[in-house]
Amino acid sequence: MPDHPLAHAAFPAARFRRLRRTAALRDLVQENRLSVANLIWPVFIRDGEGVEEPVASMPGVVRRSLDRLIVAAREARDLGIPAICLFPYTDPALRTEDCAEAWNPANLTNRAIRRLKAEVPDIAVMTDVALDPYNALGHDGLVRDGVILNDETNAALVRMALAQAEAGADILGPSDMMDGRIGAMRAALEAAGHRDVAILSYAAKYASAFYGPFRDAVGAGTRLVGDKKTYQMNPGNSDEALRLVARDLAEGADMVMVKPGMPYLDICRRVKDAFGVPTFAYQVSGEYAMIRAAAERGWIDGEKAMVESLLAFRRAGCDGILTYFAPAVARMLAESA
């Protein structure tokens, strides 16, 4: 018997290629798998009727009016995708420095939640809790004299979260990176009787260049004054991610996220190993755009790169992935089943 779990016989007794010889054998010993159940689909929404407006920097991704969102959600549900995550493109006239549209019970996101819960009740609805789609200055928090205000932002985020819970959201996704927001939201949800609303905290969210196409999609890119480095994480840090996850769990998060995804797989693995909680990665807009752009030029096989990139998250310990590829990969998985 080998005395170390990784000890094995020497060549030629050990030939690893024996188990790679046929597809059946490879399948039999595959350690990690991608399933449609692992997917959360981020969707951009906008006002109007019958509109599907392409996002230039994200080929294949559109901003949908709510009637088209319902159609897309039905398709996603029929493919077996368990959850959809809403991101609004807000009318520029509604973007203000106080961000009041964020907690308007009748804002685009809250109307979308109500319609989804009424018309496609069996898909879980996740939201984004952050002020950037409503902020004249493009930041996730309230800004005074160029400074992002932490505690004042938390009060605004609580109002926003309550409005989303009231509309029927299943999962709240605070992506703002203020300190203390999870505890504040959890306390407010309990007090308002929303005991079963889950929080998937963007716990380890890095200040990343890979969000560029997303900011185009929600119309926040050209507005953003400065950068997000005073609240999002420094890409050089790793231990800090564990402290943030511990903090958010202690404050009442049910699930945690690492974001972006592929450049931060080491963080996914550390989080999963350290906490064993439901762990998600966000394969962000720039990651999607890179794969799509290279595929369009014929430089890589887009479908294979998509599947390989998603399988990598499973290997790194993630329970699930937020990905713009969700419907495409769900269709592929359905065909190969």
Residues with catalytic roles: 205, 259
Q: Which residues pair with 54 in a beta bridge?
A: 62
Binding part of the chain for ligand PBG, among 26-34, 112-120, 127-135, 192-200 by CB under 6 A, reads 127-135
Closest-CB residue for ligand PBG?
Answer: 214
The answer to whether residue 313 forms part of the interface with ligand PBG (CB under 6 A) is: no
- How far is the C-alpha of 314 from the C-alpha of 68, rounded, in Å? 31
Among 214, 280, 313, 325, binds ligand PBG (CB under 6 A): 214
Task: Say whether residue 90 binds ligand PBG (CB under 6 A).
Answer: no
- Minimum distance, C-beta of residue 130 to ligand PBG, in the bound complex (Å): 3
Maximum Cα–Cα distance across the chain: 71
Q: Token pair of 336, please?
A: 């190969």
Give the CA angle between residues 181, 210, 243 to the nearest 5°: 35
Question: Which listed residue (43, 45, 66, 130) binds ligand PBG by CB under 6 A?
Answer: 130
Tokens of 308: 């390989």
Burial bucket for residue 39 (CB in 10 Å: 0-12, 13-18, 19+): buried
Q: Return d(Cα 328, Cα 258) in angstroms, integer.
A: 22
Q: State which of positions 16-45 bind ligand PBG (CB under 6 A).
A: none
By CB under 6 A, the residues from 266 to 285 that bind ligand PBG are 284-285
Nearer to ligand PBG, 3 or 231 (CB): 231
Point out which span in 6-14, 21-29, 106-114, 207-215 binds ligand PBG (CB under 6 A). 207-215
Binding ligand PBG (rule: CB under 6 A), the pick from 140, 170, 216, 251 is: 140
Candidates 81, 99, 132, 251: give the one binding ligand PBG (CB under 6 A).
Answer: 132
DSSP 10: P
Cis peptide before 260 (omega within 30 of 0): yes
Bridge partners, 45 (sequence order): 64, 88
Q: Which of 84, 110, 112, 128 binds ligand PBG (CB under 6 A)?
A: 128
Using CB under 6 A as the criterion, which residues of the chain lie in contact with ligand PBG when the complex forms?
128, 130, 132, 140, 175, 211, 214-215, 228, 284-285
